[in-house]
Amino acid sequence: MVSIPRFSALSPAWNAALVGAIASIPVSTLVNWLPDSEATVGAGVMLFGGFIAGAVAAVRSVDSDAAGLRAGFLGGGLELLIFAVTTAPTAAWPLSRVAFFAVAGGAILCLAPLFGLGCGRIGGWVVQTIASRRNLPVNTS
């Protein structure tokens, strides 16, 4: 059996979210190689990371919704960081661009956790469904 790494300084939900976010980066890279794919790493962490975090949380008897929500937040923050790093060196930003980035960044940080929440719920549901069909012990809450 493979051991999933644990980060002792974090809560169990953040631990599952971090594991899901790290594990989703290779998946996001593979999806980006598909033809006509414009997937980003942040979106991959938000969606695939939320799913993986929900699955990991269900295996560890942690709330999969909370883990997915946190993975979505990590994905949204990563996407904003990548955007800021790739566009900052181009030129000085006018005030209108700074205001737009602040409003859009706030919207992303509010919406990304919701996508992560949904994907985390689906990931937890998949693990619970598979475990119940195989009569394996898993959290049913």
Is the pLDDT at 125 greater than 80, yes or no?
Answer: yes
The Cα–Cα gap between 128 and 104 comes to 36
Closest Cα to residue 80, out of 117, 107, 51? 107
The Cα–Cα gap between 136 and 34 comes to 35
| Domain-embedded: residue 105 | yes
| Domain-embedded: residue 75 | yes
- Quick one: average pLDDT of 112-128? 94
The Cα–Cα gap between 120 and 35 comes to 27
| Domain-embedded: residue 3 | no
Total domains in the fold of the chain? 1
Tracing tokens 């859009």 back to the chain, one arrives at 104
Predicted TM-score (pTM) of the model is: 0.82
**Which pLDDT score, from 0 to 100, does residue 2 have?**
59
Task: Of 56-60, 67-71, 80-84, 124-128, give the lowest mean pLDDT range.
Answer: 80-84
Tracing tokens 């930003």 back to the chain, one arrives at 93
Task: Of 11-25, 43-57, 78-92, 93-107, give the lowest mean pLDDT range.
Answer: 78-92
| Domain-embedded: residue 43 | yes
Interior/surface letters 126-141, b for 16+ CB within 10 angstroms, e for the rest: ebbeebeeeeeebbee
CB 69 within 8 A of CB 111: no
Q: What are the backbone angles phi and psi of residue 51, rounded to the nearest 5°?
A: -60, -50
| Domain-embedded: residue 20 | yes
Q: Which domain holds residue 68?
A: 12-133
| Domain-embedded: residue 126 | yes
